[in-house]
Amino acid sequence: MTLTNPHNLRIDIDGLMARLMQLGQDGALEGGGVCRLALSDADKAGRDRVTGWMRALGLEVSIDHIGNMIGVRAGQENLAPVMIGSHIDTVATGGLYDGNLGVLAGLEIIAALNAAGVQTRRPIAVAAFTNEEGARFAPDMMGSAVDRGSLEIGAALAAADADGLTVGEELARIGYRGPAEPGHITPHCFFELHVEQGPVLEEAGFEIGAVTGVQGISWMEYVIEGVSNHAGTTPMRLRRDAGHAAAVIAVEARQIAAKLGGDQVATVGVCALDPGLVNVIARRARITVDLRNTDEALLRRAEAMMAEVVRETAAREQVTITGRRLARFEPVAFDPGMIGLVHDIAAADGRKVMRMPSGAGHDAQMFAPHCPTGMVFVPSKGGISHNIREHTDPEQLQAGADVLMQAVLAKAEETEARS
């Protein structure tokens, strides 16, 4: 396999930065970040922009029933394409890079190939998947999961946001409930370039992460029903306080992570009390728990510990707690050949590269069981992400996008399905 780029192609970093900044205008927040929740008006604007760019680059664009947008550049031969993919939806407090980088670097690779007049043996597909973040509709990685058949389209379309609006309705409203069958393209292999979203590369002084896999993710929502009453007159012994029960669950989630140690993390990202007034005991609370671990057995243990906490808390506080699973993904290991390819290309390019797992979920993990899959990480300044301060320097973006391009070009010349 060729480890050096036969065409000496490099990403046009000015082009990549311009696209990142322009896409960042769709849903721009004051202070610099982006709120482009899946299937919002801002998402529609971003989608229009990205599909416009795909068409301007000569890609054949398809939109499928779940709104995934895939642009294909023809190869010399009608073989399975090398797919580059990520997402353009963001959390409500998103930065410019999470997801967007992977899609737009794919477009810049196409632009570089067009400018150099290079036609690869295999087609190259650039995909932007619907609702990777899961911040508005659960589960996360929704579009890629539907594409790969691990989530049924009907269940995805029926998923509702906090206001009861469904994915199906919102897709139709913004004009992205497309005609293509999800999974209509079976890729030869899959690549995703992403910002690390954590501190590891920066702290170690490395430029590139060759991602070895993604940790397991478990999301639960608990709705706690208690009894609302006066904060001043109700004796403590007579309370059925949904707010207090939610607080216990939040504290215990942290305790579970501390007890298990190692890679276990636990986050309570939502805690909403009803009626939410200073002098009223909450009758209802909604709380989410995000548990992650690279080890499936340990993640199951954390889930069992959480379930026990919920049972005990409901009994002790005399509240009703109803759990609903929002997402569950087992840890995923990427293809050793793809990890080695990313690593060796980065090293041959003179980059300081390390093998590392991903703490965040990614569309790539949906492809890993189906085709050779690899990811390229670039550092995140201060390890900050899902925050408007998310930042990666242009030179670091260039390094990652160049590694991605060389890896894509190497795979695009393969004649047989091997990694």
Residues forming contacts to Mn ion in the complex (CB under 5 A) are: 98-99
The whole-angstrom distance between residue 46's C-alpha and the CA centroid of its chain comes to: 17
Residue with structure tokens 């954590």? 198
328: nearest Cα among 306, 353, 357:
306
- Rounded to the nearest whole angstrom, what is the least distance from the CB of residue 412 to ligand GLV in the complex? 28
- Rounded to the nearest whole angstrom, what is the least distance from the CB of residue 378 to Mn ion in the complex? 13
- Rounded to the nearest whole angstrom, what is the least distance from the CB of residue 419 to Mn ion in the complex? 23
Binding to ligand GLV by residue 140, rule CB under 6 A? yes
CA distances for 373 relative to 59, 272, 362, 370, angstroms: 22, 38, 11, 8
- Rounded to the nearest whole angstrom, what is the least distance from the CB of residue 303 to ligand GLV in the complex? 17
Give 316 or 325: the residue with its C-beta nearer to ligand GLV.
Answer: 325
Instruction: Return d(Cα 163, Cα 233) in angstroms, integer.
Output: 34
Site residues for ligand GLV, 260-289, by CB under 6 A, read none
Give 178 or 361: the residue with its C-beta nearer to ligand GLV.
Answer: 361
Residue with structure tokens 């690279």? 294
- Rounded to the nearest whole angstrom, what is the least distance from the CB of residue 204 to Mn ion in the complex? 21
Binding to ligand GLV by residue 360, rule CB under 6 A? yes
Q: Which of 85, 182, 361, 400 binds ligand GLV (CB under 6 A)?
A: 361
- Identify what 140 binds: ligand GLV, Mn ion, none; CB under 5 to 8 Å per kind: ligand GLV
Which tokens sit at 311? 């049972």
403: helix, coil or strand? helix
Give 131 or 398: the residue with its C-beta nearer to Mn ion.
Answer: 131
Measured distance between the N- and C-terminal CA atoms of the chain, rounded to whole angstroms: 10
Q: Which of 26, 133, 207, 363 binds ligand GLV (CB under 6 A)?
A: 133
Give 98 or 241: the residue with its C-beta nearer to Mn ion.
Answer: 98
Binding to ligand GLV by residue 198, rule CB under 6 A? no
- Rounded to the nearest whole angstrom, what is the least distance from the CB of residue 159 to ligand GLV in the complex? 16
274 contacts: CB under 8 Å, gap ≥ 6: 242, 282, 283, 284, 285, 286
188: nearest Cα among 305, 79, 318, 39:
79
Binding to ligand GLV by residue 390, rule CB under 6 A? no
Binding to ligand GLV by residue 291, rule CB under 6 A? no
215: nearest Cα among 274, 142, 282, 302:
302
Bridge partners (DSSP) listed for residue 289: 220
Give 198 or 226: the residue with its C-beta nearer to ligand GLV.
Answer: 198
- Rounded to the nearest whole angstrom, what is the least distance from the CB of residue 185 to ligand GLV in the complex? 23
Which tokens sit at 356? 């590392």
Report which secondary-structure segment, H or E, holds 171.
helix 167-174
- Identify what 33 binds: ligand GLV, Mn ion, none; CB under 5 to 8 Å per kind: none
Give 256 or 360: the residue with its C-beta nearer to ligand GLV.
Answer: 360
* Binding residues with ligand GLV: total (CB under 6 A): 4
- Identify what 71 binds: ligand GLV, Mn ion, none; CB under 5 to 8 Å per kind: none
- Identify what 252 binds: ligand GLV, Mn ion, none; CB under 5 to 8 Å per kind: none
Annotate 203-257 with DSSP letters as a single string: HHT-SEEEEEEE-EEEEEEEEEE----BTTTS-GGG---HHHHHHHHHHHHHHHH
Count how many Cα atoms sit within 13 Å of the Cα of residue 383 in the half-sphere of its side chain.
11
Q: What does the binding site for ligand GLV look like in residue numbers (CB under 6 A)?
A: 133, 140, 360-361
